[in-house]
């Protein structure tokens, strides 16, 4: 009997290994992953080329047929644009941390959110970039390894577009497709008309204008553009932007015509959403407008498109055409108001999970 009992125990142990024979599986956690557009690791040619190649081969960003686009991209764009873009990044680079401001702000937003939600002990906050590092794939894997059975992904774009929110979700689910054990996933919806967001923008604008020694005659809400054809095929981005501006104008109590909605950062020969920010800045100066302010409600953090394209290039253009005083109103970034918006959206989307 003793021999048979011993043999049975040996068999049971071989077929059902003790938990100690395997790595500890962590579970019971909820993850929040803040995801922004992306950043190069440096502004040298090699890093810029790597970053631009990932960005410009995204079929959500450039919808041209590959047979047409790739010869242009690899034959011309990636041989000329890295140096130009690198020079622009060099103007706004965070040299103390040796990184772009977008990476600095996104990390800080993640850190601030983690503190705000610290009372939820089963919650882990992290951040990622759609293009560049840290990658969505790596951070999803890291969250799962820490025991996150549920993950809320938050694309950091107030207005929805297939070129931004959708491509983040594409990359997220691509990462999940390689996982045998997937966590449950939620993705945050756009917040272009959320009262907390509108109020935060209005408060930021009011505080900034109150600190100026001049009164802007016009204020431009400059959103990142998309090709007109994308809107024609059903992208709601233009409508989201216009609604944000309309609600903001009402919240500020401004008369119609003081706040202008424009679109920046066009690329290539296609027609993009209009009016264009750069052309509008020039036209306003030519028309005799002397005092102008510009802000970027579609960006949760200051980055190349706000700090260089607007604060530097648009300001220079305004002055060259006769304008006198120009002010760029910073994005919400990791300010108290900005973090209030992000926390509000995260709490809204985590309903039932925490």
pLDDT for residue 7: 43
pLDDT tens digits, one per residue of 103-146 = 999 999 999 999 999 999 999 999 999 999 999 999 999 999 99
Count Cβ atoms within 10 A of the Cβ of residue 122 and give its class: 0-12 exposed, 13-18 middle, 19 or more buried. middle
Domain containing residue 243: CATH number: 3.40.50.1400
Q: Beta strand pairing status for 148-155 and 184-187?
A: parallel
Edge-to-edge strand ranges of the sheet holding 29-39: 123-132, 29-39, 148-155, 184-187
Residue 259 lies in a domain: yes
User: For the segment 247-263, what is each residue's pLDDT rounded down to a tens digit?
Assistant: 999 999 999 999 999 99
Number of domains in the chain: 2
Same domain, yes or no: 181 and 37: yes
3-class secondary-structure state, position 76: helix
CA distance 278 to 252: 24
Residues near 96 by beta carbon (within 8 Å), at least 6 away in sequence: none
Whole-number pLDDT of residue 212:
98
Pick from 183, 177, 176, 201: nearest CA to 191: 201
Radius of gyration of the chain (CA): 24
Give the closest residue to 308 by CA, choosing from 141, 13, 21, 101: 101
Predicted confidence at residue 10, as pLDDT, reads 42
Q: Is residue 73 domain-resident?
A: yes
Global pTM reads 0.91
169 and 257 fall within a common domain: no
- How far from 332 is each of 38, 198, 199, 340, 349, CA to CA, in Å? 18, 11, 11, 10, 20
Query: What is the helix (H) or strand (E) element at residue 287, kind and residue range?
Result: none
Range of the domain at 122: 29-191+337-349
If asked whether residues 33 and 103 sit together in one domain, one would say: yes
- As given in the structure block, the two tokens for residue 139 are 């951070």
**H or E element that contains 54:** helix 45-56
Phi, psi of 316 (to 5 degrees): -65, -40
Spans of the chain below 70 pLDDT: 1-25
186 and 216 belong to one structural domain: no
The reply to whether 354 falls in a domain is no
Q: What is the pLDDT of residue 24?
A: 63
């Amino acid at each position: 009997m003793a021999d048979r009992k011993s043999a049975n125990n040996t068999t049971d142990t071989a077929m059902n290994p003790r938990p100690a024979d395997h790595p500890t599986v962590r579970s019971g956690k909820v993850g929040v992953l803040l995801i922004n557009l992306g950043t190069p690791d440096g502004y040298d040619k090699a890093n810029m080329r790597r970053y631009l190649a990932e960005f410009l081969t995204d079929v959500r960003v450039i919808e041209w047929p590959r047979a047409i686009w790739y010869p242009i991209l690899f034959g011309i764009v990636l041989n000329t644009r890295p140096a130009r873009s690198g020079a622009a990044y060099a103007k706004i680079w965070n040299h103390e941390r040796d990184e772009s401001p977008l990476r600095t702000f996104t990390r800080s937003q993640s850190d601030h959110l983690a503190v705000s939600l610290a009372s939820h002990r089963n919650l882990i906050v992290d951040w990622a970039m759609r293009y560049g590092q840290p990658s969505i794939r790596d951070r999803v894997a890291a969250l799962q390894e820490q025991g996150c059975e549920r993950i809320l992904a938050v694309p950091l774009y107030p207005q929805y577009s297939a070129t931004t929110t959708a491509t983040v979700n594409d990359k997220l689910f691509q990462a999940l497709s390689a996982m045998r054990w997937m966590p449950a996933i939620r993705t945050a919806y756009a917040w272009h008309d959320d009262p907390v967001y509108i109020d935060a923008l209005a408060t930021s604008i009011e505080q900034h204008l109150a600190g100026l020694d001049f009164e802007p005659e016009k204020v431009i809400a400059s959103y990142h553009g998309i090709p007109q054809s994308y809107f024609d095929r059903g992208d709601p981005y233009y409508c989201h932007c216009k609604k944000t501006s309309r609600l903001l104008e009402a919240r500020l109590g401004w008369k119609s015509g003081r706040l202008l909605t424009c679109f920046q950062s066009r690329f290539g020969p296609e027609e993009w959403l209009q009016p264009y920010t750069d052309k509008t800045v020039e036209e306003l100066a030519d028309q005799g407008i002397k005092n102008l302010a510009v802000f970027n409600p579609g960006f949760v953090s200051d980055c190349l498109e706000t700090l260089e394209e607007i604060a530097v290039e648009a300001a220079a253009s305004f002055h060259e055409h006769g304008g006198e005083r120009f002010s760029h109103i910073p994005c919400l970034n990791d300010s108290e108001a900005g973090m209030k918006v992000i926390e509000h959206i995260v709490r809204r989307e985590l309903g039932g999970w925490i």
